Amino acid sequence: MTIDIREVTIFRVRKDLVREFETSSHRKSYIEHVLIKATTVDGRVGWGEAASPTDPFYCYEYTDSCWHALRHYLAPTLLAGVYETPDDALSASHVTGHPFAHAASDMVMWDLFSQYQGLSLADALGGTQREVSAGVSLGIEETIDDLLEVVALHVRDGYRRVKLKISPTWAYEPAKAVRESFPDVAVQVDANGVFTASDIDNPLFTDLDSLGLLMIEQPFGADDLLSHAVLQKRLATPICLDESITSLAMLQVALALEAGRIINIKVSRLGGIGPARAVHDACFDAGVPVWCGGMHEFGVGRAANLAVASLPGFTYPSDLSGSSKYYETDIVEPTIVAHHGIVTVPRGRNGLGLGVLEDRVRADAMEIVNVNSTET
Ligand code: OSB
Ligand code: MG
């Protein structure tokens, strides 16, 4: 069985967020992701999504870099070869880095690969869970009252775990207020690497440690594993690594250093579904708990994340909320919904497990290019 792609189209799709989202680095009112559609010689269609932020603040990639990498390198690689497995196509790419762009082309391959096997992506991966528990990731707000209102909205929707974005000026007070107002809700925080080694003795960390948080995500920069290791020794609260875990090799370094006790697995950051599963497997073998993070994905990327999150090692609640947390409408059907903070893993059809509404993709597209007909 081989996968022979004859046509690739890429779409730059923009959607407004239901609510603006602010992290330690910036604020966004809309999301722009690159979608990729591949058609095989026998007429099968696969989809992928590059869930990169528009600006290079989370990591160095941004929408334009994904667009460029997919259009000029990764889509041509998909067209050039005939592949047995998604890993074969990934190995055929000689592009270094650019994990978000690779995640999109890898997703297309996994969608097609599982369709040829007559399986949903979740089943093709060996996923064992029918449902995934989901929390919400909440941005920095103007005031603590505003934040409490947003938390209340999501608690009313049934979510039982919230993640709060923090910064040097928005951390302990908001986290404490949420702990006190919602004693039954699990709370965790995410600094997106805003602190530096010189902050290591900041009493903020011991203050946060007193709140009984589920975890503190990525306090220091992606490559500052040593500061994470020093801080983790001092805290009872587990440190969770996100930006730092860019590969299986980096995971091994982080675990050797005891830089964190929990790993956030993201398909985008790891450069694909196969690499994400490999990190899951290594964590599973090492007894390290993991959960599935997100990047405000539209339905395509969200379906792939849910399939990955159905693997047995995913034990902490994910950031894979129902799509109404983010967008008025989505580009897939059925819509991905959370009931009491639980999302069903899409298994309704082979591949991604749900249908992609190409008309919606086209309606929201700022730019569309058929890669076959362009010079590379
Ligand atoms: O660090 O997990 C992160 C969004 C953009 C950039 C980085 C992060 C996030 C999120 C959103 O936390 C998670 C979601 O998709 O809801
Ligand atoms: Mg994070």
Ligand nearest to C-alpha 218: 2
The pLDDT tens digits of the residues spanning 66-83 come to 999 999 999 999 999 999
User: Does 317 sit in the ligand 1 pocket, CB within 6 Å?
Assistant: no
The pLDDT tens digits of the residues spanning 250-260 come to 999 999 999 99
Mean pLDDT of 20-29: 91
pLDDT of residue 24: 85
- pLDDT band per the 50, 70, 90 thresholds, residue 178: very high
The pLDDT tens digits of the residues spanning 154-174 come to 999 999 999 999 999 999 999
State the catalytic residue, choosing from 165, 176, 233, 325.
Answer: 165
Average pLDDT, the chain: 97
User: Does 296 sit in the ligand 1 pocket, CB within 6 Å?
Assistant: yes
Nearest-CA residue for atom 12 of ligand 1:
137
For residue 374, is pLDDT > 90? no
Question: CATH assignment of 5-119+358-375?
Answer: 3.30.390.10
Q: pTM of the prediction?
A: 0.97
Mean pLDDT of 206-213: 98
The pLDDT tens digits of the residues spanning 280-327 come to 999 999 999 999 999 999 999 999 999 999 999 999 999 999 999 999
The fold of 123-344 is TIM Barrel (3.20.20)
pLDDT of residue 373: 67
For residue 148, is pLDDT > 50? yes
Which are the contacts of 278, defined by CB distance < 8 A and separation ≥ 6? 248
Mean pLDDT of 177-188: 98
Q: Which atom of ligand 1 is nearest to the CA of 190?
A: 1
For the chain, give every domain's residue range.
5-119+358-375, 123-344
Decide: 43 and 37 in contact? Cβ < 8 Å: no
User: Does 330 sit in the ligand 1 pocket, CB within 6 Å?
Assistant: no
pLDDT of residue 372: 86
For residue 376, is pLDDT > 50? no
Q: What angle do CA 60, 111, 87 make, to 5 degrees?
A: 65
- pLDDT band per the 50, 70, 90 thresholds, residue 146: very high
Q: Which atom of ligand 1 is nearest to the CA of 294?
A: 15
Please identify which residue in the block is written with the tokens 């805003």.
194
Please identify which residue in the block is written with the tokens 């091994």.
252
